[in-house]
Structure 1
Amino acid sequence: MAVGKAVWGIDIGHSAVKALKCRMHEDGFWMVAEAFDFIEYPNPLNQAGAGAEGLIKDALREFLSRNDIRNDKVCISVPGQAGLARFFKAPPVEAKRIADIVKYEAKQQIPFPLEDVIWDYQPMPGSHEEEGISLETEIGIFAMKRDQIFRSLQPYLDTAIDVDAVQLAPICLYNFVANDQLTVNPLKEEYDPANQPPSYVIVSMGTETTDLVITNGFRVWQRSLPIGGNHFTKQLTKELKLTFAKAEHLKRHASEAENAKLVFQAMRPVFNDLVTEIQRSIGFFQTLDRKAKISRIIPIGNGMKLPGLIPYLGKNLGYDVVELEGYQKLTGTDVTSSPTFRENMLSFATCYGLCLQGLNKSALRTSLLPQEILVDRLVRQKKPWAVAAVASLLAACALNFGFHWQAYNAAQNPAFDDGLSKISAVQSRSSSFTSSDSTMMTEKENLEQIGRYVVGNEENRRLWPELMKAITAALPVDPDVPPGQVSKKPIEERPDLQITSIESQYFPDLSLWYTDAVKQKYSATLENRKAILLRLEEGEEASPAIDEEIAKEEREAAADGAPQPAATDGEEIEAEPSSEDAALTAAEAEADVELDESEVDPEDELAGPTAEESGWIVQLTGLHFHNSRSARENAGAQYVRNTLIDQLDRGSVELINEDNEPEIVTMKELGISHPIIAVDTVPREVQIDNPKWEPQTLGSEAMGEGGYGMYPGGGNMRNANGTDAEDQEPPKIRVKVYRFKVQFCWRETPLSKREEMRREAELAAAEEAEANGDFAEVEMEN
């Protein structure tokens, strides 16, 4: 089903006027053709004495008599040889400076003063920006002399057809091929200069010239060849001594002629000239872009219906010449199945591209329509409304004045003058008081602002140290190990997380960070919170402790030198979770946990920050070795969730308040929220240096003649502390390491803001308690 406003694409050629009316299908993919028109002139426009202007006006009047174009957009084409197209690659600059660079390039590229031309520009598809900087941006500049534009628009102005866009015919062909023929979508894909898609050559033969367009969807190159359909006709008139009309008829029915061979031999020089021009143009293009790969040639225009021309091009050019049998993305059976449309289908490609531009589906949307025409049209359209508005305003003013004069005349009494003068004096005094009050309030606000600025600087210096202290407080510690000492437990049994780097990035719009992927990862944090709360209700720890029996077996096995038993499939899943689903094994089995009144509903938290919220995204990169079999399910990512993530989610830290006394501040009050594991890996077995290892040394007896019953120099190898080499620790130990990246959202919450939030919470709690007490008294009275 077609929706939206319809667009007419009109192409005025030397032999006919072609028009196509289209709307966009509701799915946004198909273009629905609703009507078309093909009006052939009695004589070609280039024929001597034909009266080109009169023939065009008559054709447009006939078009208007057949079709209703009211409320429809109209886009027209102008010949490519009358315009100018230049392309240049802009340097990496801010996007807002592109316009200045284009204006400078236009002065260099256009060989006329800019006030004498109509020009427009557009970045080519495939360009991209990074942080507001335009990279690899190729820009096309399109221009045409002002007098030629008005000469092309004059037939439309004479027939009262309002034109909405003017486009060069080669650019219309590019829009048609980019939308209908190419396998890539230049509007949705990025351009890779090192790996270009194949290029298509569009050869559009007109009456006097042939437009040649080469494009891969992201780049376009066009040239006008001085050979057209009339050159074949003129060759026949010259070789066979025929009139122009008879030669034109013979050209169109060459295969049906009595001596077809003679006809084709007469036209062979033009065939050869056309092939030579195309080969020269393609060769020149390949010298400009050596990485371009031409895959096929698409012939366009009624001139290509000359019998034998398309096979001749395919044979002599060496490329695959594809003859169009229909438009791939154009539907509307009333048009596409019409015999007239199918017979002249090759000549509607330009109209197809114009309709795409009018429907805002084209790759290039520049327009050479003069601005003065648009202004005149807007003024003409708004003039009736302006006259009506002025008349209505005048009538309203007159009516209002009549009412006011009547009221004034009825209320006018000289006895009131003394009272009114006293009222004016009081009003003047009141105004002076109001002005003085406003001045003092302004001074007060300035002083308050200065105070906030002074206090704010002190508070802002505390923000990042407080954040670092909160991160440190969120890391797990061994309560049995005093501060400053190293645990003697095996490294895989230590409750330890190592943070290797801390990075941060400011987001003016936090919703850009909170994507669907982040939302899914945060849902894992909420599920793990439920599981932890359930364990705490059952008297268990938030982070399950090491299984001492398994740990003892592992230590004994390591002491005996025996390899540790390989984990079964089930054990490996518990010890090495590598995905969100595996990490939630314990959380999925828990029942619903009732929330306290002070806690936030997880569904509200899962909604995430809105577009109006700003803040920092902090990323912690780290690792841990808590991945042995004795850790069971509390390993890998789950260990990070049970410790660091859980503390960032619902933990607290001791900070200094405004009275310079320590107080407990929750992570929520500090502005920390939505902690997730951004990068989740699988624990990998690695070798690390053994801190207990000491290098071997030779015993003192090894330097002498040897002990009793030993050969000289046969002393034992011993380490630095005198133990035998057999009892020495190995230099390397094998452990499993889990590497992770944790991200969380941090909104800067200064001390004064925290205190204000607490006072508001206490006030709200007191009001709620008072309301609950009044309600209880009413119930008791009842």
Structure 2
Amino acid sequence: MAKINRCWGIDIGQCAIKALRCTVEDGQVVADAFDYIEYPKILSQPEAEPEQLIRDALETFLSRNKISRKEDKVAISVPGQSGLAKFFKPPPVDTKKLPAIVQFEARQQIPFPLEEVIWDFERLVGGEEIDGFLIDAEVGLFAMKRDQVHRSLKPFDKADIQLDIVQLAPMAIYNFVSHDILTEGPDEDLFDPDDPPESIVVLAMGTDSTDLVITNGFRMWQRSIPLGGNHFTKQLTKELKLTFAKAEHLKRNARQAEDPKTVFQAMRPIFNDLVTEVQRSIGFFQGIDRKATIKGVVLLGNTVKLPGLQQYIAKNLGYDVIEFERFNELSGPSVLSSPQFAENSMAFGVSYGLCLQGLGKARLSTSLLPREILTKRIIKAKKPWAVASLAALMLACSFNFFFHYNVWSKVKPDYEQDGETWSGPEEKVKIVKKTSDGHHAEHKDKEAQLTFIKEIGEEVVGAGDRRILWLELMRAINQSLPWPEGIERGAYVDYKTLPMDQRPVFYIDYVESEYFPTLESWYTDIVKSKYGELKRHLRGDTIEDPVATEGDANVTVSAEDVAAAGSEGPTGPGWVIELKGYHYYNNRSLIRNERGANHVRFSFLKELEEGTIELPDGTMNPEDNTPNLVTFTMKELGIQFPLLLFDDGEPQTVTVPNPDVSPAQAQPGAGNMMSMQGMEGFGGEDDEGDDPYSSGTSQIVPGAVPTEGDGEPTVLASFQVRRYSFTIQFCWQEIRLRDRLIALEERKAKEAEEAAAKAEAEAAAKAAEATAVGEDTEPADAAAVPEGAVEAGNE
């Protein structure tokens, strides 16, 4: 639909209808038509019939002017005293929630149920929007009783004039003044509520009331004063004992009266009342907006022509009267040069403001036109398109029906071709279908039997695999434990051959296991931090070893360790394996990374994290009748997330009994150690001494062969070494041998595929390089060989 850029602004007053039509040409508002139709009587006169007078005036207006529904918008005004205008500042609120805040405010401000009124709102210029929140915003709320709105629309409905905008007269005046008079103010983006521009007081004097509007072009305040030109006429009627018609004539021609002074003296009480009401209104406004300053008064309406009124208002209000002579931002010579328009130009302010709103040039765009009228109008406008769409749909359905009927007629049961109907072939199809259904049922039975046999096979094979799972786990643990090089694993080594503090051997106190239905419950932040700590050590990061013992409940969680552990953890059911043990590999001659906690990390835990293990695959080598071995990684075996859970911090000095010494061989000086001869292994006891190599009163290095005075070897009952105790954990999820072999084959196939692709890419790159080299060298070679030599060679 083309945009309508022409609008009629119709102001139905108490004594005349003022209508102005404007359009937009090159961004300029242009007036191209107007009309001023005065009623035979003022609508408020007792003997007048307002509805009939307005109807006759509208008929006269339509006879003079043509209103096109496709080309013209129509905006009308309603009296300010018939409506309600409130302005409030909402609290800082999300922009999307502003309508809900306004609706709540409307229920508080409007003294009628919202169902009985037509209301609208608009956010005025000013305020800020920060991150979607309105700060220091001001909202205008406008309302009018529903029955009064419909009463105002009734004459236009009977005249068949379609309305687009219904606006309060003071709001139309604000649109006109902010666009045409207050043109020197700042831009909307530069408006500062704390330092607003100067305001003006607009007095639009009508027949029965005066609309007072105070505005600076951005903010506004309005009030309807129940004093107008008709009150001057009534005062003359009362004081001079005249009829209403004579008093009205005398008011309009006061300067030509026989005694003008008497006329002005008779109207003086109304002058005083008007000035008093204006002063009260200005005082109230300045009380609610203390930052506002008023620079002058603008008078509108034909009542302003009353002799002496402007001078009286200027003298008693104390503000300059800004003379209004013409519309500054309105062009259109055919209208502006018309004598009738020039004579009544001060009465066209409302009509001009309505036109500005209809053309989208006004700052206030609210409308009190009932929503149901707009809805009916939209539905009515779309009815032809809806009917056309339905007709096209019905036509398409009809064609579709006939096409389908033509096809269906050839397959209906009684269709006959060459003396044969569909019944014969249908019986044959039924027989074939019955046979096919039997085959399908038999196939499903066979599939069920095959599935059952596979399940039995899985159970049989799986039972064999499950029997060796724990054996494989224990073998992996044993293989991961460090052992001295050059010595057979498990062989006994005395302390003379290899001192205790030079053995990288782990002594395991126990191996415990616990089943977790979900390993996520085990993999807490503390466990994740411990695993990340191991990853950082294996990666080579420089970090200090924290001291965390089994009794320490306040274990700190390092963000760096958690990040190093990665985002993925164990999922599903599984076992948590815990080993507690110790080692004596803490000789001070060793570097830091080879003793204490680092010995556990870089030997045992590193093997569990990155190591491999060879396990039988269940088949035998026919040549030597030995089991075939397959290499699996620890992760393929199901071992994951090893970590050092607890430790003693620094190694502790303990007393270790000599396993090669019987009680009879013990030195007398070492008699205090005889009670420990029954201790198993090299567990030892804690000692308060700090010397790692003291025994009794002797200072003998473990592994040395001390002698007495006669040269005989001295056999020690015990000696002291530094022991480091630890507790480690890892999770283990059972992966059967058969599943590991399948995964291994898939991995090898994938690696072979990637290797082939890489080799192919390298070959293609070499071929391309060789081609490029050949192209570069061929012209030079051809140029270097003489033509005769080439011919000779060819011969």
User: Which TM bucket (shorter chain)?
Assistant: 0.5 to 0.7
Alignment partner, residue 226 of structure 2: 226
Alignment partner, residue 353 of structure 2: 353
> 1:103-132 CA deviation, whole Å, 9 max, x = no partner?
111111111111111111111112321121
Aligned residue pairs total: 444
Structure 2 unaligned runs (5+)? 416-421, 441-527, 529-757, 780-795
Where 1:242 maps in the other structure, the secondary structure is: coil
Say whether residues 1:106 and 2:137 are aligned partners: no
Alignment partner, residue 32 of structure 1: 30
Alignment partner, residue 60 of structure 2: 62
Aligned pair in 2 of structure 1 residues 417, 330: CA closer, same or farther (>3 Å)? farther
Counterpart Cα distance in 2 of 1:416 and 1:254 = 111
Contact 1:125 1:217 (8 Å CA) reproduced: no
Aligned pair in 2 of structure 1 residues 420, 266: CA closer, same or farther (>3 Å)? farther
Where 2:188 maps in the other structure, the secondary structure is: coil
Where 1:87 maps in the other structure, the secondary structure is: strand
Where 1:361 maps in the other structure, the secondary structure is: coil
Where 2:105 maps in the other structure, the secondary structure is: helix
Contact 2:124 2:138 (8 Å CA) reproduced: yes
Letter in 2 for 1:131: D
Map 1:168-567; keep pairs closer than 5 Å. 168-184=168-184, 188-410=188-410, 414=422
Question: Cα offset for 1:406?
Answer: 2.0
Alignment partner, residue 698 of structure 2: none
Question: Cα offset for 1:328?
Answer: 0.9
> 1:21-68 CA deviation, whole Å, 9 max, x = no partner?
111222x3x211111111111111001121100111111122112112
Contact 2:199 2:216 (8 Å CA) reproduced: yes
Counterpart Cα distance in 2 of 1:8 and 1:418 = 80
Counterpart Cα distance in 2 of 1:179 and 1:309 = 26
Identity rate of aligned residues, in percent? 56
Structure 1 unaligned runs (5+)? 430-457, 459-758
Alignment partner, residue 47 of structure 2: 49
Question: Cα offset for 1:69?
Answer: 1.3
Alignment partner, residue 150 of structure 2: 150
Alignment partner, residue 692 of structure 2: none
Alignment partner, residue 18 of structure 1: 18
Counterpart Cα distance in 1 of 2:83 and 2:210 = 14
Counterpart Cα distance in 2 of 1:423 and 1:7 = 76
Contact 1:186 1:218 (8 Å CA) reproduced: no
Counterpart Cα distance in 2 of 1:296 and 1:107 = 36
Counterpart Cα distance in 1 of 2:428 and 2:178 = 82
Contact 1:127 1:190 (8 Å CA) reproduced: no
Counterpart Cα distance in 2 of 1:419 and 1:299 = 101
Aligned pair in 2 of structure 1 residues 393, 416: CA closer, same or farther (>3 Å)? farther
Letter in 2 for 1:277: E
Letter in 2 for 1:342: A
Question: Cα offset for 1:766?
Answer: 8.2
So what's the TM-score if we normalise by structure 2? Answer: 0.52
Contact 1:198 1:294 (8 Å CA) reproduced: yes
Counterpart Cα distance in 1 of 2:425 and 2:76 = 73
Counterpart Cα distance in 1 of 2:90 and 2:190 = 17
Question: Cα offset for 1:262?
Answer: 2.0
**Which contiguous aligned blocks of 4+ residues in structure 1 show a shift greater than 3 angstroms?**
183-187, 410-413, 415-426
Where 1:369 maps in the other structure, the secondary structure is: coil
Alignment partner, residue 733 of structure 2: none
Aligned pair in 2 of structure 1 residues 277, 82: CA closer, same or farther (>3 Å)? same
Where 1:162 maps in the other structure, the secondary structure is: coil
Counterpart Cα distance in 1 of 2:100 and 2:194 = 29
Counterpart Cα distance in 2 of 1:407 and 1:37 = 69
Contact 1:178 1:185 (8 Å CA) reproduced: no
Task: Compare 320-329 and 264-273 and name the one that shifted more.
Answer: 264-273
Letter in 2 for 1:344: N
Counterpart Cα distance in 1 of 2:156 and 2:16 = 15
Task: Compare 399-408 and 117-126 and name the one that shifted more.
Answer: 399-408
Aligned pair in 2 of structure 1 residues 409, 327: CA closer, same or farther (>3 Å)? same
Letter in 2 for 1:62: T
Where 1:166 maps in the other structure, the secondary structure is: strand
Contact 1:187 1:363 (8 Å CA) reproduced: no
Contact 1:184 1:217 (8 Å CA) reproduced: no
Contact 1:4 1:24 (8 Å CA) reproduced: no
Where 1:137 maps in the other structure, the secondary structure is: coil
> 1:404-427 CA deviation, whole Å, 9 max, x = no partner?
21233356673775899889999x
Where 1:90 maps in the other structure, the secondary structure is: coil
Contact 2:126 2:193 (8 Å CA) reproduced: no
> 1:475-508 CA deviation, whole Å, 9 max, x = no partner?
xxxxxxxxxxxxxxxxxxxxxxxxxxxxxxxxxx
Contact 1:186 1:363 (8 Å CA) reproduced: no
Where 2:99 maps in the other structure, the secondary structure is: helix
Counterpart Cα distance in 2 of 1:417 and 1:149 = 74
Where 1:76 maps in the other structure, the secondary structure is: strand
Letter in 2 for 1:54: Q
Letter in 2 for 1:191: F
> 1:551-596 CA deviation, whole Å, 9 max, x = no partner?
xxxxxxxxxxxxxxxxxxxxxxxxxxxxxxxxxxxxxxxxxxxxxx
Where 1:134 maps in the other structure, the secondary structure is: strand
Counterpart Cα distance in 1 of 2:124 and 2:313 = 30
Aligned pair in 2 of structure 1 residues 766, 111: CA closer, same or farther (>3 Å)? farther
Counterpart Cα distance in 2 of 1:66 and 1:766 = 89
Letter in 2 for 1:34: D
Counterpart Cα distance in 2 of 1:385 and 1:65 = 32
Contact 2:208 2:228 (8 Å CA) reproduced: yes
Aligned pair in 2 of structure 1 residues 31, 293: CA closer, same or farther (>3 Å)? same
Counterpart Cα distance in 1 of 2:336 and 2:251 = 26
Where 2:89 maps in the other structure, the secondary structure is: strand
Contact 1:202 1:212 (8 Å CA) reproduced: yes
Letter in 1 for 2:33: A
Where 2:398 maps in the other structure, the secondary structure is: helix
Contact 2:185 2:217 (8 Å CA) reproduced: yes
Alignment partner, residue 136 of structure 2: 136
Aligned pair in 2 of structure 1 residues 190, 98: CA closer, same or farther (>3 Å)? farther
Contact 2:23 2:359 (8 Å CA) reproduced: yes
Question: Cα offset for 1:165?
Answer: 1.2
Task: Compare 110-119 and 2-11 and name the one that shifted more.
Answer: 2-11
Contact 1:128 1:190 (8 Å CA) reproduced: no
Contact 2:4 2:73 (8 Å CA) reproduced: no
Counterpart Cα distance in 2 of 1:420 and 1:356 = 79
Counterpart Cα distance in 2 of 1:243 and 1:280 = 33
Say whether residues 1:85 and 2:85 are aligned partners: yes
Letter in 2 for 1:134: L
Counterpart Cα distance in 2 of 1:103 and 1:235 = 44
Counterpart Cα distance in 1 of 2:51 and 2:433 = 78
Map 1:630-641; keep pairs closer than 5 Å. none
Where 1:290 maps in the other structure, the secondary structure is: coil
Question: Cα offset for 1:363?
Answer: 1.0
Letter in 2 for 1:141: L
Letter in 1 for 2:239: E
Counterpart Cα distance in 2 of 1:114 and 1:92 = 25
Where 2:323 maps in the other structure, the secondary structure is: coil
Alignment partner, residue 160 of structure 1: 160
Question: Cα offset for 1:147?
Answer: 0.9
Contact 1:7 1:359 (8 Å CA) reproduced: yes
Say whether residues 1:127 and 2:127 are aligned partners: yes
Counterpart Cα distance in 1 of 2:232 and 2:201 = 22
Letter in 2 for 1:33: A
Contact 2:180 2:329 (8 Å CA) reproduced: yes
Say whether residues 1:96 and 2:122 are aligned partners: no
